[in-house]
Amino acid sequence: MKFQIPQSVSLNTTKMVILSILIAYLFSVGMRMIWIGEAQNVSTFFWNNALMINTNDGYYFAEGARDLLAGSHQPNDLSPITDPLAMLTAWLAKILPVSFETLLLYMPSVFGSLIVIPLVLMGRLFNQTSMGFVAALLAGIANSYYNRTMSGYYDTDMLTIVLPMFSLYFLMLAMTHQRNHFLLPITLMVALNGWWYPQSYSLNTAILVTMLLYTVVFERNNHHLYKIVLFILLGLLSLPLVLKLALALALFTLFHFQPTLDKKWFWMVFGAGFALYFATGGVDPIWNELKSYLFRDNVSETAGLHFYNVAQTVREAGHIPFTVFAERISGSTMVFVLACVGYLLALLAYRPLILTLPLVGLGFIAMSAGLRFTIYAVAPMALGFGYLLFYLIQFIEKKWLQLLTVVVFTGAALYPNYKHIQEYKNPTVLITKEVHALDQLRKRASREDYMISWWDYGYPIRYYSDVKTLVDGGKHSGDVNYPASYILTQPQTNAALMSRLSVEYTEKGFKTNQTQIIAQMFKDYKVTSADDLITTVHANPTTLPKATRNVYLYLPLRMMEILPTVALFSQLDLQNPQAQPQQPLFYASQGVEDTGKTLELDGGVVSIIKAQNMLKIGGQEVPIKGFYQVGYDNAMKLQIQEQQFASEGVNVIYLSSYGKFLILDDFYLHSTYIQLFVFEHYDPKLFEPVFLDPLTKIYKLKV
């Protein structure tokens, strides 16, 4: 099923190819300026007179770039100074006349929009650049791709799809023209992809296998295709980037000067390449990734202890409905269906496109593995839509009507994505006042000090306060989340002792290479639970490790929304994961309606019956044990009014300054987070306030 496009709508000259790329690129970047324009009107999104970034992980790479520019960092501070994105950012910061914050803001738009280049060039391989142009317009702003490459989304995603698409373009180019000088770019792009994003190992291996199967099934006697397989393999090897490129150059030189190389020697080199692949890792990394994404369990085991699995709490790793899946890839369900039809037809028309199947497969597992994977299917589906559109207009005779059809249907496909961009009001990770609190701590704390909070805030804490953390966006396995959860949700004595234990054991672990700190604590103190550990240490204070650095607690208002999730990680019986303790009660209202007799929280999810001092939850009435009204006066002094109604029941806290009601049991009422953040009730023997603000509260540990 070959398609012949009328020449009037073709853009195959070199000048038109360049023009198509330029227009598609400027369109993609321009769409990403919409957020900039809107965010500039929000004063709380600024720090140091610049817009802040809008992804937590971005602060990880920003920390590495910052430390590279400074020329120093602290031992074991986990700063990613060897990460490619941090290195690229630091290099650009040295040569470009823009501020560091501005560079972080615009890099995703500039680099993410490069995806249009391989798409236009792939269209040219079809002998139809205009098809690639339409695909580039669509892929550049498709929902999921836009979300992860928008302005401010400073992350590796800015090149995570761009590099594989360039790899596939050079593969198709080599397959189409079958010349040796197209082999080197294959290794270069595959190797760069693996260097930039090590998790791409599985995708690159899938592309390798697909290319090998393609060769065996369709052109098993074509010697050049086996060369292509070999150059993919060289880029995939778990070896230093420079060494892989050196091997590729040596092999290219051999093929160039010995074009009729004896088949016996070729197959020996071919076999040696695969032997080296398995010797340097093989499929082990792939199996580990499959286990983490496709075979997740609620509980993981570390050193004989059982911990709650963080993957269960990450929205991007959850199941998604089909409509969300389709919209993430193509903007709308209809465009996605058309793209799928076009993609299947394109596979029949141009066989080398089969090499995009790993991208499509990885994108389609998003239905079960989480919406983060949809980004991989965006570009192939965009090509499918472009193919179908230009295939169908062949049956329209009038040239002007062909052009009009292309414009109308392309516009219709782009419009849902444009609306998504307009409505996607992604805020910055933190607002100005929150950053101010972290900056104040930076002026007071040492770079060897620790700040304890939940892992969501680890990277911003490290970037703005320049201190160490127990957990962050990359270090959040169950065994490190457990102590953080315990500290935030247990009473103050327990929290203080666990804080000191966790920090000192973490530092000790760096020296002894012992990363399972909870297991090591249990072993050293001869206990089997965290409560027994705290009881033992409390009864024998001299056994508490000597303080080697200051420790701070970071308690933001925004943590209130996820407090039940935080608590999950320390509510598990570490010895017996089958035991299911009753989960404590915590509910934070988002809205309230006063009917006179009742207060209806969130449309009646919970009702407060005023005259009876009762709560109605899920059809049951429960007595209100204590009622607390907490808020700030005009002088920003915290005021607390308390009423006790019963000896048993649940507690109600009205946060007047936030317009929120909290419904919680005694477990949460006495938790360190609620006591220190909501009430500012701190034990002066254990903690002292450092920064108290309605949005952020920071305390210093005194033990």
pLDDT tens-place string over residues 56-110: 999 999 999 999 999 988 888 999 999 999 999 999 999 999 999 999 999 999 9
pLDDT, position 276: 85
Which range is least confidently modeled, 152-166, 230-244, 664-678? 230-244
Are 144 and 36 members of one domain? yes
pLDDT, position 479: 86
Distance CA 701, CA 79 (A): 24
3-state helix, strand, coil in the chain (%, to 5): 60, 10, 30
Q: Which of 568, 603, 626 is the last residue of a domain?
A: 568
Are 109 and 249 members of one domain? yes
Rounded to 5 degrees, φ, ψ at 586 are: -150, 130
Domain range for 654 is 586-664
Amino acid letter at 374? T
Are 343 and 489 members of one domain? no
Distance of CA 442 to the CA centre of its chain: 26
How do residues 27-58 score in pLDDT, each as one tens digit?
999 999 999 999 999 999 999 999 999 999 99
What domain count does the chain have? Answer: 3
Three-class secondary structure assignment of 415-436: HHHHHHHHHCCCCCCCCHHHHH
pTM of the model: 0.91
pLDDT, position 317: 55
β-strand partners of 654: 629, 661
How do residues 337-375 score in pLDDT, each as one tens digit?
999 999 999 999 999 999 999 999 999 998 877 788 999
pLDDT, position 303: 63
pLDDT, position 4: 44
Classify residue 115: in a domain, yes or no: yes
Distance of CA 385 to the CA centre of its chain: 28
* pLDDT of 139 strictly over 70: yes
Classify residue 165: in a domain, yes or no: yes
Kindly list the distances between the CA atom of residue 674 and the CA atoms of 30, 696, 698, in Å, as whole numbers in the listed order.
45, 13, 13
β-strand partners of 293: none
Distance CA 20, CA 266 (A): 41
- Please provide the size of the chain in residues: 703
Distance CA 477, CA 305 (A): 13
Are 234 and 256 members of one domain? yes
Q: Which of 360, 395, 423 is the last residue of a domain?
A: 423
pLDDT, position 13: 80
Q: How many CB atoms lie within 10 A of CB 139?
A: 29
Nearest to 553 by CA among 502, 610, 607, 624: 502
* pLDDT of 414 strictly over 60: yes
B/e letters for 411-420, b = 16+ CB within 10 Å, e = fewer, are eebbebbeeb
Q: How many CB atoms lie within 10 A of CB 658?
A: 16
* pLDDT of 533 strictly over 70: yes
Are 449 and 407 members of one domain? no
Amino acid letter at 433? K
pLDDT, position 292: 56
Confidence of residue 694 (pLDDT cuts 50, 70, 90): very high
Mean pLDDT of 208-217: 95
Distance CA 465, CA 449 (A): 10
Classify residue 687: in a domain, yes or no: no
- For residue 468, give the 3-state DSSP assignment: strand
Distance CA 309, CA 668 (A): 22
Are 159 and 185 members of one domain? yes
Confidence of residue 297 (pLDDT cuts 50, 70, 90): low
* pLDDT of 458 strictly over 70: yes
Distance CA 474, CA 471 (A): 8
Are 133 and 282 members of one domain? yes
Are 516 and 599 members of one domain? no
Are 92 and 131 members of one domain? yes
Classify residue 476: in a domain, yes or no: yes
Which residues neighbour 75 within 8 Å (Cβ) at sequence distance 6 or greater? 510
Q: Which of 391, 423, 455 is the last residue of a domain?
A: 423
pLDDT, position 2: 45
Are 259 and 346 members of one domain? yes
Tokens 């498709």 identify what position?
A: 142
Share of the chain above pLDDT 90, in %: 75
Token representation of residue 184: 């080197």
Classify residue 699: in a domain, yes or no: no
User: Residue 503 sits in a domain of what CATH number?
Assistant: 3.40.1380.40
In a 13 Å sphere around the CA of 466, the CA atoms on its Cβ side amount to 14
Classify residue 357: in a domain, yes or no: yes
pLDDT, position 583: 86
Are 319 and 175 members of one domain? yes
Nearest to 452 by CA among 521, 549, 544, 313: 549
pLDDT, position 523: 93
Mean of the per-residue pLDDT values of the chain: 91
In a 13 Å sphere around the CA of 152, the CA atoms on its Cβ side amount to 26
- The helix (H) or strand (E) run that includes residue 20 is helix 14-39
* pLDDT of 295 strictly over 60: no
Distance CA 344, CA 207 (A): 18
Are 619 and 643 members of one domain? yes
Classify residue 575: in a domain, yes or no: no
Sign of CA dihedral 456, 460, 462, 465: negative
Classify residue 129: in a domain, yes or no: yes
* pLDDT of 316 strictly over 70: no
